[in-house]
Structure 1
Amino acid sequence: MIMTKTAPLSTWPWENLGVFKYMLLGPLVGKVMHSRLQGDDHLASNWCFHILFISALRFHVFMWYTNTCNMLFLTRNRRICKKGVDFDQIDKEWNWDNFVIFQALIASLAIYLFPYGYANLPVWETKGLFAIMVIHVLVSEPMYYWVHRLLHGNYLYTPYHSFHHASAVPQPVTAGSTTFLEELLVVTVIGLPILGCCLLGCGSKTVIYGYIIVFDFLRCFGHSNVEIMPHWIFEKFPLFKYLLYTPTYYSLHHSEKHTNYCLFMPLYDALWNTLNTKSWDLQKKISLDAGKSTRVPDFVFLAHAVDITSSLHSPFVIRSFSSMAYSAKLFLLPFWPFAFVVMLVMWARAKTFLMSFYNLRGRLHQTWVVPRFGFQYFLPFASEGINKHIEEAILRADKLGVKVISLAALNKNEALNGGGTLFVKKHPNLKVRVVHGNTLTAAVILNDIHKDVKEVFLTGATSKLGRAIALYLCRRGVRVLMLTLSTERFQNIQQEAPADCQKNLVQVTKYQAARNCKTWVVGKWITPGQQRWAPPGTHFHQFVVPPILAFRRDCTYGELAAMKLPDDVEGLGSCEYTMGRGIVHACHAGGVVHSLEGWSHHEVGALDVDRIDVVWKAAIKHGLRPVSSRPK
């Protein structure tokens, strides 16, 4: 094994601790608790409390600024770099908050060494405001400029600063994605004004709080990749362009590297001749283009939230959480009341909004979300409003010039709109192709069933997918036990099968009929009690939303039908519900294939069984790979 040698101070001392790194702040927490137990009720004079509190404030400034930038429905027309934030960047920036912990520890050490100076700081001192601003402008700004410029030199860039520039799309948390040496230098830059202000005898708690929060806010502002500064400010007040940088200004440094080194004030780039001449023209262009439509997507997947907690699985809520497959977590509990209120607001007022996007083969794919939650689809009085939202999304896509729009599970519910048939019949001149994607869903499930299986138990047997699966399997010589109480619907499906295959379709009305069948295909939700009729060793394939409960330990449960997107997908940084990275539901993948193939027909209503193999082969041809749910 070849060992790679890292440069000194390029890694963090607690790099191997994982989430346990937060325990480094444990002594501060212990100190606060000890003071409270000793009867000290004056938190204002407890320096440990202040360090913890301001650390929490800093964390939230970066987190919520990042979340706001990822609200594409607000920021899509103001984005500077048009790429999406992918999984690689999210992983590189996973420990962006190391600097918060480090600076808290440095502050603790400083106050431990000089406790008297801090204990006597007043709440407010007007002179301190001016002092800290002067020291920042005359000391911190030029110091940062030259340190930053030095880090771009041949010797220091690769081991220490290239990691920061490895983030393709600047985000507020990118500011904290640094090496240990870089953060040592930043601590000096942010600490000197505070120290100088205190040594001059004009420091105050408010000034220190204000300086640190403003410092962080301006770092977030520059790294945001969202241009919010109006260009007219710089035209009316030309000197202002040298006093405050813009997101565009920083983005040029991030992409071209050897210009725009300043901290917050372009004045120093102008003084030392490193100002990028394109800075203000590009800023004006992006500012003017903010009100114009951006690039039209080729494909749109129209999704919906499943439940209230899963709605928190969004890039604009918790970016790192959305980059992993969804599962219920205890830390989501405090967010639940807020999410519930948002749900009520969305139910009353919200329209379909853009959630995420990615690029595939030069085509832009977007995910739009209908502001409705899973349980609402089963409320009889809500169906009209839901269909209205879906129809508005389809008409909007048609007006924009979108080529294909694919409907997620509940958005194409048969009882709701006939699998999209309602909209195609109502608007016969649609240019956008409406796709339910169920043909590929059926193909994924069918190709996941072992070739040597001779009998299958099928629930939801008379649904669109159930019908297609039953007809396909019976042609393959598989005996299909179709659970349905409607003899008429069963007979209609049986009549569709070739005459020599009709005997393979068998109507059953009770779960007991499957007591000897080890392959279940579940298209209608079943209870744990109903699952008891399955023999040990049964595998449950499923196409039901929400998925059934994994109740039986002696059985195996497949995930919902899914496919992995091709390896050349770009800008994908969030997982689709419970799916892994780069994996999407088969109905989503079906729309992708429809778009890549350039098919001109709508895929709505009943499935064409003869097209199952056609769609499957097209998906494989384009690099989509099935995600098997069978036990190995």
Structure 2
Amino acid sequence: MEAIQQSKALKDKIIVSPGKRDAPLFAWPWENFGNYKYLFYVAILAKYFHWTRELETWDTNWCFHILLLCGLRCLVHQLWSTYTGMLFLNGNRRISQDGVDFEQIDAEWHWDNFIILQAIGGILAYWSIPSLYNLPLWDGRGFICCLVLHIGVSEPLYYWVHRLLHSPNFFTNFHWLHHSTKVLHSFSAGQATFLEHLILCVVVGVPTLVTALIGYGSISMMYSYLVVFDFLRCLGHSNVEVISHHLFDTVPFLKYLIYTPTYHNIHHMDMRSNFCLFMPIYDILGKTMNSHYLDIHKEITTRKNERVPDFVFLAHIVDIMSAMHAPFVFRSFNSTPFGTQLFLFPMWPFTFLVMLAMWTKAKTFLYTFYNLRGRLHATWVVPRFGFQYFLPFAADGINKHIEEAILRADRLGVKVISLAALNKNESLNGGGTLFVNKHPDLRVSVVHGNTLTSAVILHEIPQDVDEVFLTGATSKLGRAIALYLARRGVRVLMLTQSKERFSKIQKEAPEEFQKFLVQVTKYDSAKHCKTWIIGKWSTPREQSWAPSGTHFHQFVVPPIIPFRRDCTYGDLAAMRLPKDVEGLGSCEYTMERGVVHACHAGGVVHFLEGWKHHEVGAIDVDQIDVVWEAALRHGLKPM
């Protein structure tokens, strides 16, 4: 029997019910300030410049060190967040297989409150303790003194206070908030009440301030202790095990001196054990160490087989700016629809270098996942940017990446792999037919999802519309939309210069409906039509031919820029996932929370229906209503 099943309490994560929020010192004093709380840093920066003008040097300017330390501590938490979000690196070492959802991200949005609190504490300490005025840069005695105070005072103090916080009264009023976190994350370390972080200020302050009071303090000691303290806190709150059991086998005594992510995760599963700060020896002395810890830790660190998703959406990066919307970059930014923000621009050069490295070396990587009906749905990303798909010499390399992803999915036992946007470009691989024809024995179903995409677009068009103007008319989606609307008796003005391609599509329509398909070669042919369906990039001049009040439906990637103020513009075809989705904490590009592109949703429906056929190449018009009804039946909602 697996070690993790040895204790019934550890089989499932405990879901903590919300406790009281009206207890004294529960809320933060600046809780209602929102992001205005960061004006505190502006005030410190202003004081720093004021002192600089008075010829204060950097080593005695406490404001300089406060700002730098706050920045370093935020960086430590962010780097841990980035690492734990890199599922392609640590998928096998994840302790909880659940994903961080939007609810948890919102709850931990202001995780950095404690950094502001400790910065305020540092300023107050500087004003009240003269020995802090002229600390040397280095004093080796201070490191030893600080370590002794941490082991002898901070560790036992935290252990006993932590056990006290688990008593019924304190847990109901305060500590439940920290345990309401479903999946531990580096930002979860800051998810606690004001009272708890006041106590943590004492835990942090005893080694640093006492060392300074007795004359052994130094600037390097202050920096080292606080940064290492945060590093170890993030280590414990990581959902990825980073310490191998071989280390404990080689040096057995270490397992009493340093905890691991598994150790602290067990505390959140079995709240009767593992109360220590960083050193399990205090749990051993207090007889509160979980007896299955080492077995569980060994099981996680020796895990070799990655968790196989049942469904994979094979995405690609749109551009350099949107690459920074990845979950492992900024978690909070990724949890909202993508939009170009000023803070992204300084990081553009670095991202550009990463793009060049990915172009030459990177392989398809796991991006994110969520659970639906108890099955894992994953997003894999082809390491190619949107503009690269339009470079003729890059086509073979891109198809090689897509083919490798499909074959990998087939080997792993994935049921359905759905191709996103440009990964199924007709000129690139015929909407996926290239791979199906090359590998006829594929067990994984390759799906372009465009059947549902066309259904979403078609159901956006009002029933009383009798004429539409269609660009990109001979594309895969344009053809299906034109044929479907013709069957509905809608006159379709198909913009195309190719008489041959138009005639081929027209002949596919039943004879009595062929008259509804009309070839046009110029935009001015639609100057009286108020329903435009855009499948090809449209310039401002081309859009100017639309009459006032026109609505632009679209399936072009990237979407057209809305130049006309007297017209309305639809978004790209999308659907909202069912309500029973779990672990979803990422927005798919510009989509709202819980909303995915229609081709992604099409793959989900293909999987939920258990269909075994490939959906590649031309769209089967007869299947449009079938797929639409299946999507609604499974709880997907149109936007």
TM over 0.5: yes
Matching of residue 608 in structure 1 with residue 620 in structure 2:
yes
Counting matched residue pairs gives 620
Three-state SS of the structure 2 residue aligned to 1:560 is: coil
Q: Distance in 1 between matches of 2:278 and 2:208?
A: 17
1:163 to 173, 177, 193: 177
Letter paired with 1:152: H
Residue of structure 2 equivalent to 1:223: 237
- Confirm whether residue 205 of structure 1 aligns to residue 219 of structure 2: yes
Structure 2 residue identity aligned to 1:26: V
In the aligned structure 2, how far is the partner of 1:341 from the partner of 1:61? Answer: 23
Aligned equivalent of 1:180: 194
Q: 1:295, 1:600 → 2: CA distance?
A: 22
Per the alignment, residue 470 of structure 2 pairs with 458
Given candidates 548, 552, 567, the residue that maps to 1:540 is 552
- Which residue matches 1:630? none
> Which ranges in structure 2 are unaligned for 5 or more consecutive residues?
1-19
What is the rounded CA distance, in whole Å, between the counterparts of 1:311 and 1:293 in structure 2?
Answer: 28
Which of the residues 343, 362, 373 maps onto 1:331? 343
CA distance in 2 between partners of 1:324 and 1:373 (Å): 21
Q: CA deviation at 1:241?
A: 1.0
State the alpha-carbon separation in 2 of the partners of residues 313 and 76 from structure 1.
20
Residue 25 (structure 1) aligned with residue 37 (structure 2): no
Query: Which residue of the other structure, out of 179, 187, 205, is the alignment partner of 1:191?
Result: 205
Match for residue 14 of structure 2?
none
Equivalent in the alignment of 2:511 = 499
Match of 1:196, SS state, is: helix
Q: Distance in 1 between matches of 2:292 and 2:449?
A: 46
4+ aligned runs moved over 4 Å, structure 1? none
Task: Tell me the percent identity.
Answer: 63
Residue 25 of structure 1: CA displacement?
2.5
Q: Deviations over 1:46-103 (max 9, x none)?
A: 0110011001000000011111111000010000111011111111110000011111
Quote the residue 2:289 is aligned against: 275
2: CA distance between counterparts of 1:158 and 1:442? 52
**Equivalent position to 1:439, from 437, 451, 454:** 451
Q: Residue 31 of structure 2: SS of its match in structure 1? A: coil
Distance 2:250 2:475 in 1: 65
Q: Give yes or no for the alignment of 1:69 onto 2:81.
A: no
TM-score (norm 1): 0.97
CA distance in 2, matches of 1:374, 1:186: 47
Q: Secondary structure at the match of 1:45?
A: coil
SS in 2 for 1:336: helix
- Specify the alignment match of 2:591 in structure 1: 579
For residues 467 and 575 of structure 1, the distance between their equivalents in structure 2, rounded to whole angstroms, comes to 30
The aligned residue for residue 30 of structure 2 is 14
| Residues in 1 aligned to 2:52 and 2:559: alpha-carbon distance in whole angstroms | 48
1:223-261 superposed Cα distances (whole Å, 9 cap, x missing partner): 111111111222232221111111100000011112100
Contact 2:257/2:278, CA 8 A, preserved across alignment: yes
Matched AA of 1:191: G
Please report how far the alpha carbon of residue 362 of structure 1 lies from its aligned counterpart in structure 2 after TM superposition. Answer: 1.2
- Residue 108 of structure 1 corresponds to 123
- Return the alpha-carbon distance in structure 1 between the equivalents of residues 83 and 418 of structure 2: 27
Contact preservation (8 Å) 1:25, 1:105: no
Tell me how far apart the structure 2 counterparts of residues 124 and 508 of structure 1 sit (CA, whole Å).
Answer: 79
Output the CA distance in 2 between the equivalents of 1:32 and 1:295.
Answer: 51
Q: Give the SS at the match of 2:552.
A: strand
Q: Which runs of 5+ in 1 are unaligned?
A: 628-632
Shift of 1:38: 3.5
Query: Secondary structure of the equivalent of 1:443?
Result: helix
TM-score (norm 2): 0.96
Q: Which residue of 1 aligns with 2:610?
A: 598
Shift of 1:118: 1.2
Distance 1:36 1:458 in 2: 65
8 Å Cα contact 2:415/2:607 also seen in 1: yes
Query: Which of 92, 103, 107 is 1:92 aligned to?
Result: 107
Q: Aligned AA for 1:400?
A: L
Match of 1:317 among 301, 313, 329: 329
Query: Does the alignment pair 1:58 with 2:70?
Result: no
Q: Tell whether the 8 Å contact from 1:164 to 1:177 is kept in structure 2 after alignment.
A: yes
- Cα separation, 2, equivalents of 1:50 and 1:579: 41
Q: How far apart in 1 are the matches of 2:514 and 2:632?
A: 30
Give the superposition deviation at 1:162.
1.0
How much does 1:528 deviate? 1.1
Mean alpha-carbon deviation: is it higher for 264-273 or for 31-40? 31-40
Taking the aligned partners of 2:610 and 2:61, their CA distance within structure 1 comes to 66
In the TM superposition, residue 187 of structure 1 has moved relative to its aligned partner by 0.3
Q: Which amino acid aligns with 1:139?
A: V
Aligned match for 1:373, one of 362, 374, 385:
385
Query: How many Å apart are 1:26 and its aligned residue?
Result: 2.6
For the Cα contact (< 8 Å) 1:394–1:405, is it kept in 2?
A: yes
The 2-side partners of 1:375 and 1:465 are apart by: 21
For residues 411-435 of structure 1, give each alpha carbon's deviation from its aligned partner in whole angstroms, at most 9, with x where no partner exists: 0000000000000011111111100
- Residue in 2 that maps onto 1:240: 254
Separation (CA, whole Å) in 2 of partners of 1:74 and 1:590: 28
1:574-596 CA distances to partner (integer Å, 9 max, x unpaired)? 00000000100000000000001
Partner of residue 265, structure 2: 251
Q: How far apart are 1:39 and its partner, in Å?
A: 4.2
User: Does the CA-based 8 Å contact 1:439-1:611 persist in structure 2?
Assistant: yes
Per-residue displacement from partner, 1:507-551 (whole Å, max 9, x unpaired)? 110000111111111000101111101111111111010000011
Q: Does 1:131 align with 2:140?
A: no
